[in-house]
Amino acid sequence: MSFMGRGEFQLEFPWTEELDAVTGIPPRKALDSSLPLLLRIMGEEDLPLSVIMIDIDHFKKFNDRWGHDTGDRVLRHVSRIIREAVRYRGEAYRYGGEEITLLLPNTSSDEASLTAERIRRSIYDSPLERQSGEDDESLPIPLSVTISLGVSTFPSVAGSELLVAADQALYDAKKGGRNRIAVYNSRKKDESLPVVLDVRFPAASSISEGSYIILTRWFRHRGELTEIEAREISDPGRGVREFAEGPVPPGGPVTAEIRGRVMAVERRGDSTFFSFEVEAEVLDLMFHHLKDRDS
């Protein structure tokens, strides 16, 4: 993979041959491998690294009204436009569901914002056309598709917080009406009070205090918001993902993401217990995600 940026800077690093089957772009695990490498290189070269988180607006309606084949076509359509827009400048990854993440090395916040706006406009101006031989008259063709985008940039945002910050900006864009971009506002973060969750991971873990990690599969204990059990932990800063097996209690697991900082790690027997500090707005974002998914 080759990234070109301002001046004579050029970056090459190993490419994964594995691509997401639906979108044709690299999957989430390729992002987990690429981000720590890019952060290290950009830090050593004193260069910026921007992240753009992208969400297809009202994606659930495509699947619910016209079937998953149409939803997959929308994903492929959007992914193709996005990847063409950043060719030789960065890479697009399928983050999960209808979310796509861009990594843009040697790209400032202003440059990333301009790129995000070009992508937003390209998709807005490129409705999905009918396929040859398609005769489903219930499907409105051309089918209008829009996206929302959130931008964050290293080093103004710490590398361990880049994804969280871009996700928060994406939430702001969606909250602002969708079909728009938002740039992460660090001053807004300073005004947000943290929430501390008590987490049990039913396996040995290599996490340590101060790490910024992601809980992906988890469920709440006894309906309490602040006490949960996690079955999957990712540490993007180290490119590490850990899993725990075992029976799942009634009501779980929930497949969503909570991101934050590890505090007060304690290992007892085969389990790891820790406090998990998240921004209240990040937790709010997660609940909005679940509400949108279930509505």
Q: Are 154 and 225 found together in one domain?
A: no
Cα radius of gyration (the chain): 20
Among residues 54, 240, 50, 239, the alpha carbon closest in space to that of 162 is found at 50
The DSSP-derived string for 60-118 is HHHHHHH-HHHHHHHHHHHHHHHHHHTTTT-EEEEEETTEEEEEEET--HHHHHHHHHH
**Distance between CA 191 and CA 57 in Å, rounded?**
28
Q: Are 212 and 261 in contact (CB under 8 A)?
A: yes
Token digits of residue 202: 């039913």
* Same domain, yes or no: 153 and 275: no
Give catalytic residues, as residue numbers.
98
What pLDDT is attached to residue 17?
Answer: 61
Which CATH number belongs to the domain containing residue 101 in this structure? Answer: 3.30.70.270
Q: What are phi and psi of 36, to 5 degrees?
A: -60, -40
> CA separation (Å) from 74 to 22, 59, 140, 215?
10, 9, 13, 28
- Under a CB-based contact definition with an 8 Å cutoff, are residues 71 and 12 in contact? no
What is the predicted pLDDT for the residue at 129? Answer: 76
Residues 178 and 218 in one domain: no
Instruction: Give the position of tokens 């406009």.
Output: 121
Q: Is the peptide bond before 48 cis (omega within 30 degrees of 0)?
A: no
- Are residues 27 and 166 both part of a single domain? yes
Pick the closest to residue 143 from 123, 128, 121 (CA basis).
128
- For tokens 């988180």, name the residue: 53
The answer to whether 225 and 198 are in contact (CB under 8 A) is no
Residues 177, 45: one domain? yes
Report whether 131 contacts 143 (CB < 8 A).
no
The verdict on 207 and 89 lying in the same domain is: no
Residue with the two structure tokens 């929302």:
148
Based on the domain organization, do 157 and 277 belong to the same domain?
A: no
Query: pLDDT value at position 197?
Result: 80
Task: Single out the residue in 187, 203, 229 at which a domain terminates.
Answer: 187
CA-nearest of 143, 163, 138 to 153 is 163
Residues 21 and 68 in one domain: yes
Chosen domain end from 138, 156, 187? 187
The verdict on 253 and 276 lying in the same domain is: yes
The predicted-structure confidence for 15-25, as pLDDT tens digits, reads as follows 556 888 999 99
State residue 120's pLDDT score. Answer: 96
Strand pairing of 227-230 and 194-201? Answer: parallel
Residue 223 CA, distance from chain mean position: 26
Instruction: Give the number of domains in the chain.
Output: 2
The token pair that represents 207 in the structure block: 């996490």
Contact 124, 132 (CB under 8 A): no
Same domain, 183 and 214: no
Residues of the chain with pLDDT under 70: 1-17, 130-141, 187-193, 220-226, 249-253, 280-295
Looking at residue 4, its pLDDT comes to: 47
What is the pLDDT at residue 250? 62
**Residue 126 lies in domain:** 2-187
Residue 264: what pLDDT? 84
Where residue 13 falls (left for φ over 0; alpha for ψ -120 to 50; beta otherwise) is: beta
Kindly state whether residues 69 and 99 are assigned to the same domain. yes
Among 167, 187, 207, where does a domain finish? 187
Helix (H, G, I), strand (E, B) or coil at 293: helix
